[in-house]
């Protein structure tokens, strides 16, 4: 546990120790020895978000990162940060702090983790640069728990600066590769913290909604024996003395669960695509949120369940993650995400009629003027009158689903038509031989949905550790 004695034992002896003889505050600061669970001090650490005027006058302990420090004569101002919250702290020469202690505080490297004891003081003028605007901490003790190296590969303040400010005011921003190469630091920014908290919320809302609808969560294997979806874009794995493959989607297994009477299933898990696409929306590994459901007479029963699930997710995010949405918007301004409840649903013929009404005959996509018209045009052209459906957010497709074939004869015919080796999907085809209910489903990519909901422009911003043809680290 941190103490001045502990600092004596430390390998890194601060220069200040030289002056120890004349330092009346020498017990009140230092570099703590590494925490190795040797002691259980009876000390309560307070959250920075709880530092409000209600606590004014109280002496509290806080563990936080040194976000910034600025020495000014006999005092040093620190901004202490804990996730998305921060507070100003003042070390000033006086009863509690010596000039050596102020110097020590001023020399702590940014991003180091410190334990600070201080008195909460109400301030007269709001501190605009901190989340805790009405109080500051008057430091009485400060110990370094984990020291950061002096040179950071990127500055957190640069990493949250809106692009436009960077361009117009010539201030530094951080490019994507630098961010991703130093992801652990980039993830500490308020923007990243907000993105991934919201993403965690998407998974939570997806499961909450489906569990309430009576769906069962399943786990599907990722290593499969055959490149079952045609063989293109599939990663090969050395499996003992043979080859195996990474699943490009859980679809076949979801369907097998339907044939196994689970009726309504969902799963969340990694999906692998060996596609050499280097675009803003492609990853080689992403997280799939997948649904499959038996229906009674019409696949629209499934479309309605999926659409309602998306609506419940959007509503939940807007209700529970307003702070996070606003935090991301500060750096990446965008139109708020809009949706209808129930969702707007266009049938093939309605879309066609809308296009005609807009004076558009079914020509080339180039003839269509707005992106939405192009979208509709593409849809109308591509889609035959099939039992399939696409879903969109901000005009981009997020889900493509269909009624599946549940007849073993017809599955066999289609597989042959697509040149798939029947022997390789025997287990799949066999699932339909012993009674199979009609069913349909679909899947969405977690990273894409997060990106589109927040109006971001690159799926790498919404993957903690993105994988693409050129990036496999960190």
Q: Enumerate residues 117-146 that contact a copy of itself by CB under 8 A.
A: 145-146
Reply yes or no on whether 282 is catalytic: yes
Under the binding rule (CB under 8 A), the answer on residue 219 touching a copy of itself is yes
CA 324 vs. chain centroid, Å, equals 11
> By C-beta, is 175 or 242 nearer to a copy of itself?
242
Query: Given the rule CB under 8 A, which of 125-133, 160-168, 249-257, 338-346 is the region that contacts a copy of itself?
Result: 249-257
Closest separation between CB of residue 111 and a copy of itself, Å?
A: 5
Closest separation between CB of residue 91 and a copy of itself, Å?
A: 19
Residues 289-318 that bind a copy of itself (CB under 8 A): 296-300
Among candidate residues 135, 110, 3, the one with its CA nearest the CA of residue 58: 135
Q: Which of 208, 263, 275, 304 is an active site residue? A: 275
Among 165, 177, 276, 382, binds a copy of itself (CB under 8 A): 276
CA 16 vs. chain centroid, Å, equals 42
Reply yes or no on whether 400 is catalytic: yes
Residue with tokens 């679909």: 442
Under the binding rule (CB under 8 A), the answer on residue 410 touching a copy of itself is yes
- d(C-alpha 342, C-alpha 117), whole Å: 53
- d(C-alpha 135, C-alpha 86), whole Å: 11
Q: Which of 397, 457, 467, 471 is an active site residue? A: 397
Omega cis (within 30) before 240: no
Among candidate residues 238, 223, 329, 233, the one with its CA nearest the CA of residue 283: 233
Per rule CB under 8 A, count of chain residues that contact a copy of itself: 104
Among 69, 88, 100, 112, binds a copy of itself (CB under 8 A): 112
Burial status of residue 387 (CB atoms within 10 A of its CB: 0-12, 13-18, 19 or more): middle
Q: Which of 65, 81, 273, 404 is an active site residue? A: 273
Omega cis (within 30) before 400: no
Q: Which of 10, 448, 460, 463 is an active site residue? A: 448
Under the binding rule (CB under 8 A), the answer on residue 196 touching a copy of itself is yes
Among 192, 251, 312, 331, binds a copy of itself (CB under 8 A): 192
Reply yes or no on whether 171 is catalytic: no
Reply yes or no on whether 397 is catalytic: yes
> By C-beta, is 173 or 450 nearer to a copy of itself?
450
* The two three-digit tokens of residue 288, written as one number: 């799939």
**Mind spelling out the 3-state secondary structure of 279-307?**
CCCCCCEEEEEEEEEECCCCCHHHHHHHH
Inter-CA distances, 71 with 46, 138, 150, 257, 336, Å: 25, 15, 16, 64, 41
> By C-beta, is 3 or 75 nearer to a copy of itself?
3
- d(C-alpha 338, C-alpha 335), whole Å: 8
Looking at the annotation, which residues are catalytic? 273, 275, 281-282, 397, 400, 448
């Amino acid at each position: 546990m941190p103490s001045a004695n502990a600092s004596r034992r430390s390998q890194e002896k601060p220069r200040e120790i030289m002056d120890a003889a004349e330092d009346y505050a020498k017990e009140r600061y230092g570099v703590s020895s590494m925490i190795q669970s040797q002691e259980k001090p009876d000390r309560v650490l307070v959250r920075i978000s709880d530092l409000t005027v209600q606590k004014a006058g109280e002496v509290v302990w806080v563990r936080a990162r040194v976000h910034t420090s600025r020495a000014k004569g006999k005092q040093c101002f620190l901004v202490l940060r804990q996730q998305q919250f921060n507070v100003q702290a003042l070390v000033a020469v006086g009863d509690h702090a010596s000039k050596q202690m102020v110097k020590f505080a001023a020399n702590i490297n940014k991003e180091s983790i410190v334990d600070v004891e201080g008195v909460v003081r109400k301030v007269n003028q709001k501190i605009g640069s901190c989340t805790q605007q009405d109080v500051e901490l008057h430091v009485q003790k400060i110990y370094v728990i984990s020291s950061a190296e002096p040179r950071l590969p990127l500055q957190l303040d640069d990493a949250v600066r809106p692009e436009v400010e960077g361009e117009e005011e010539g201030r530094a921003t951080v490019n994507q590769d630098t961010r991703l190469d130093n992801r652990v630091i980039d993830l500490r920014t308020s923007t990243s913290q907000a993105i991934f908290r919201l993403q965690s919320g998407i998974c939570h809302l997806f499961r909450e909604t489906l569990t309430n609808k009576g769906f069962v969560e399943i786990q599907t294997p990722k290593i499969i024996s055959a490149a079952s979806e045609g063989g293109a874009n599939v990663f090969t794995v050395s499996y003992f003395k043979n080859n195996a493959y990474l699943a490009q989607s859980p679809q076949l297994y979801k369907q097998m669960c339907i044939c196994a009477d689970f009726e309504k299933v969902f799963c969340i898990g990694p999906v692998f695509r060996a596609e050499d696409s280097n675009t803003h929306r492609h990853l080689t590994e992403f997280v799939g949120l997948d649904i499959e459901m038996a229906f009674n007479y019409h696949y629209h029963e499934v479309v309605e369940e999926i659409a309602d699930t998306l609506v419940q997710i959007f509503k939940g995010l807007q209700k529970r993650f307003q702070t996070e949405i606003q935090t991301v918007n500060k750096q990446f301004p965008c139109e708020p995400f809009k949706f209808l409840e129930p969702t707007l649903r266009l049938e093939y013929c309605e879309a066609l009629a809308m296009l005609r009404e807009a004076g558009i005959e079914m020509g080339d996509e180039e003839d269509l003027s707005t992106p939405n018209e192009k979208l509709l045009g593409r849809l109308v052209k591509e889609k035959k009158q099939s039992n399939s459906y696409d879903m969109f957010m901000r005009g981009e497709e997020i889900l493509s689903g269909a009624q599946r074939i549940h007849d073993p004869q017809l599955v066999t015919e289609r597989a042959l038509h697509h040149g798939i080796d029947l022997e390789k999907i025997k287990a799949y085809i066999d699932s339909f031989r012993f009674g199979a209910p009609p069913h349909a489903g679909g899947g969405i990519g977690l990273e894409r949905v997060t990106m589109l909901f927040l109006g971001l422009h690159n799926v790498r911003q919404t993957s903690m550790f993105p994988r693409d043809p050129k990036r496999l680290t960190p």
